């Protein structure tokens, strides 16, 4: 079974996806980390990552490898390196490359063929797995998302003004929605969950309830 979770930045997708996967015994796929890995690879190769033509050759040979929750590229564990602010900044440019997006979809579908999956990103239910058995779209008010992000930063010892975080989130929403390829789109058949005022446990409990219902319906229809 494939479960997709899409939605805007800081809507709580990764925590919810990780927890849902653990509860169901499914594999969790963080597609954002894969895009971040491509940005890191481009930076290390000295490629001008704002130029799609330069990214094309990289896309063809790009093969990050997951080992559990750790991400490797050419044998090196890059799980933490992909979280750096420069990689975050470069990722949105790299993610605009149509060739790279094609390659990512190929790699992600390859993983989806081998196991039950909870996959999370911007385009999983709309483009990569249009026939996924269960699709979610997580949203939250930008102010709520900014509060959560600011709290994450504070927990890491970084004091960033809430208003600045809000501006960055609004900017990212605009960029995500207007991208020429891979724009954030809500799949028409996705269950929309607004996470405003809900704890992550409540969000995951609701998702698990919906998934279990679908699983029961699917196995019933297989028996009929
Ligand atoms: O989810 P995360 O913030 O780690 O994603 C990093 C960036 O990768 C996003 O801002 C977006 O530009 C890109 N991305 C994407 N498609 C996905 C996942 C992430 O374009 N499926």
Q: Maximum CA pair distance of the chain?
A: 58
Report pLDDT for 125. 97
Report pLDDT for 76. 97
Residue ranges of the chain with per-residue pLDDT less than 70: none
Angle at 128 between CA 194 and CA 102, to 5 degrees: 130
Report pLDDT for 182. 82
CA distances from residue 131 to 2, 16, 100, 124 in whole angstroms, order as listed: 8, 21, 22, 10
Report pLDDT for 43. 95
**Which of 113, 75, 112, 87 lies closest to 32, judged by CA?**
87
Query: In this structure, what are the phi and psi dihedrals at residue 183, rounded to the nearest 5 degrees?
Result: -65, 150
Instruction: Give one word for 25, left, alpha or beta, with left for phi > 0 and alpha for psi -120 to 50.
Output: left
Report pLDDT for 157. 87
149 pocket-lining for ligand 1 (C-beta < 6 Å): no
Question: Bridge partners of 6?
Answer: 121, 137
pLDDT in tens, 34-51: 999 999 999 999 999 889
For residue 223, the CA-to-ligand 1 centroid distance in Å is: 39
Query: In this structure, what are the phi and psi dihedrals at residue 162, rounded to the nearest 5 degrees?
Result: -55, -40
Q: Closest residue (by CA) to atom 11 of ligand 1?
A: 92
Task: Kindly compute the dihedral angle of the four CA atoms of residues 99, 52, 14, 106, in this order, to the nearest 10 degrees.
Answer: 10
pLDDT in tens, 117-146: 999 999 999 999 999 999 999 999 999 999
Report pLDDT for 92. 86
For residue 122, the CA-to-ligand 1 centroid distance in Å is: 7
Report pLDDT for 129. 98
187 pocket-lining for ligand 1 (C-beta < 6 Å): no
- Per the CB < 8 A criterion, the answer to whether 70 and 160 are in contact is no
Give the chain's length.
224
- Per the CB < 8 A criterion, the answer to whether 5 and 13 are in contact is yes
Report pLDDT for 103. 96
Angle at 111 between CA 105 and CA 117, to 5 degrees: 105
For residue 79, the CA-to-ligand 1 centroid distance in Å is: 15
Strands 134-139 and 65-67: unpaired
Task: Specify the DSSP element, H or E, that contains 193.
Answer: strand 191-194
């Amino acid at each position: 079974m494939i479960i997709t979770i899409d939605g805007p930045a800081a809507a709580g997708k990764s925590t919810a996806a990780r927890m849902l996967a653990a509860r169901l015994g499914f594999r969790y796929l963080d597609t954002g980390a894969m895009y971040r890995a491509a940005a890191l690879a481009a930076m290390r190769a000295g490629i001008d990552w704002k130029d799609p033509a330069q990214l094309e050759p990289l896309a063809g040979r790009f093969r990050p490898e997951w080992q559990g929750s750790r991400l490797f590229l050419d044998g090196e564990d890059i799980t933490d390196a992909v979280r750096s602010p420069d990689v975050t900044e470069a990722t949105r440019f790299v993610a605009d490359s149509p060739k790279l997006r094609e390659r990512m979809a190929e790699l992600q579908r390859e993983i989806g063929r081998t196991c039950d999956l909870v996959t999370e990103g911007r385009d999983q239910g709309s483009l990569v797995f249009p026939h996924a058995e269960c699709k979610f779209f997580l949203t939250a008010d930008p102010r709520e998302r900014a509060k959560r992000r600011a709290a994450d930063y504070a927990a890491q010892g970084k004091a960033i003004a809430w208003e600045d975080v809000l501006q960055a989130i609004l900017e990212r929403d605009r960029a995500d929605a207007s991208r020429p390829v891979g724009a954030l789109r809500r799949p028409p058949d996705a269950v929309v969950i607004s996470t405003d005022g809900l704890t992550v446990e409540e969000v995951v409990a609701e998702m698990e309830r919906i998934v279990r219902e679908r699983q029961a319906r699917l196995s019933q229809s297989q028996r009929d």
